[in-house]
């Protein structure tokens, strides 16, 4: 298993991983119509392509790729190593504003449903931790749907601690989320 930085050519794979994973793993959390409407691979591919092309200095995608060069999972990190950024108009700029210097946000971690439970998620997380440590980052934060029991088990098994419960909104619907932290 190779973990590497995502490139523009990965946009279609990232879109498939996101849509397949949401439809399989969040069907008990988000209603079927919303999932059907929001998880359209073509639309997500465009978004990923835009993000990868713009190569924002505070955000990074890593992908897990097997020996056959198939991309099976990805992780998205936002990192804050200084206070140099003040573009609160963008989603990333706004998110970074609320973060401490020396911290990172694990914004997404997804593994294709049929590839879960084989160590790919842990490999992505370990890689992300080591990437962060090398940048002088000491804390990684994450939010997880409270109802996502499987995701929560993964995070807790892999060293996260629960530091709070928060109300959030996804696709205009309220949800309860756990706030998690790794000290690295
Ligand atoms: C959560 C997710 C990224 C984990 O990736 P994965 O490749 O399936 O997990 P791994 O195989 O690397 O598991 C690593 C460890 O966590 C444990 N773990 C993973 N999922 C678990 C679960 N549902 N219940 C209990 N333990 C679990 C594994 O047993 C393993 O520990 P072990 O080696 O001691 O047995 C993946 O399952 C996924 O994409 N889930 C759907 C999306 C999601 O919930 N993402 C997180 C959103 S915050």
Q: How confident is the model at residue 87 (pLDDT cuts 50, 70, 90)?
A: confident
> Do 154 and 106 contact (CB within 8 A), yes or no?
no
Cβ neighbours, 10 Å, residue 53:
10
**Relative to the CA of 142, which ligand 1 atom is closest?**
48
Which domains does the chain possess?
A: 2-183 (3.40.630.30)
Strands (E), the chain: 2-5, 59-65, 71-80, 103-111, 139-145, 161-170, 173-183
Angle between helix axes 11-25 and 41-54 (nearest 10 degrees) is 130
Residue 3, both tokens: 């973990």
**Relative to the CA of 157, which ligand 1 atom is closest?**
16
Distance from Cα 31 to the centre of ligand 1, integer Å: 23
DSSP, collapsed to helix, strand or coil, labels residue 67 as: coil
pLDDT score of 32 more than 90: yes
Q: Chain-wide mean pLDDT for the chain? A: 97
Q: Tell me, what DSSP letter sits at residue 100?
A: P
> Do 112 and 152 contact (CB within 8 A), yes or no?
no
> Do 74 and 96 contact (CB within 8 A), yes or no?
no
Q: Which neighbouring-strand residues pair with 2? A: 65
Cβ neighbours, 10 Å, residue 87:
10
pLDDT digits (tens, 9 = 90+) for 33-77: 999 999 999 999 999 999 999 989 999 999 999 999 999 999 999
pLDDT digits (tens, 9 = 90+) for 107-155: 999 999 999 999 999 999 999 999 999 999 999 999 999 999 999 999 9
Cβ neighbours, 10 Å, residue 92:
18
pLDDT score of 17 more than 90: yes
Q: Which of 128, 132, 113, 126 is nearest to 158 (CA)?
A: 126
Q: Tell me, what DSSP letter sits at residue 9?
A: G
Q: How confident is the model at residue 88 (pLDDT cuts 50, 70, 90)?
A: confident
Distance from Cα 116 to the centre of ligand 1, integer Å: 7
What integer pLDDT is reported at residue 86 of this predicted model? Answer: 79
- The set of protein residues with a Cβ atom below 6 angstroms from ligand 1 is 21, 25, 109-111, 116-122, 142, 144, 148, 150-151, 153-154, 157-158
Does the global pTM surpass 0.75? yes
């Amino acid at each position: 298993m190779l973990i590497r930085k995502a490139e523009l050519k990965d946009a279609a794979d990232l879109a498939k991983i996101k849509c397949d994973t949401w439809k399989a793993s969040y069907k008990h959390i988000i209603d079927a119509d919303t999932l059907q409407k929001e998880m359209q691979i073509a639309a997500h591919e465009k978004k990923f392509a835009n993000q990868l092309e713009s190569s924002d200095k505070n955000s990074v995608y890593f992908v897990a790729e097997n020996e056959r060069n198939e991309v099976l999972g990805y992780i998205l990190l936002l990192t804050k190593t200084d206070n140099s950024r003040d573009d609160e108009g963008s989603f990333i700029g706004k998110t970074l504003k609320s973060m401490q210097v020396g911290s990172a946000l694990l914004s997404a971690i997804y593994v294709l449903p049929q590839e879960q439970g084989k160590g790919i998620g842990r490999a992505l997380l370990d890689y992300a931790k080591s990437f962060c440590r090398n940048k002088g980052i000491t804390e990684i934060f994450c939010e997880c749907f409270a109802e996502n029991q499987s995701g929560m088990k993964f995070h807790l098994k892999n060293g996260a601690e629960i530091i709070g419960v928060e109300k959030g909104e996804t696709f205009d619907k309220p949800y309860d989320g756990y706030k998690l932290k790794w000290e690295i």
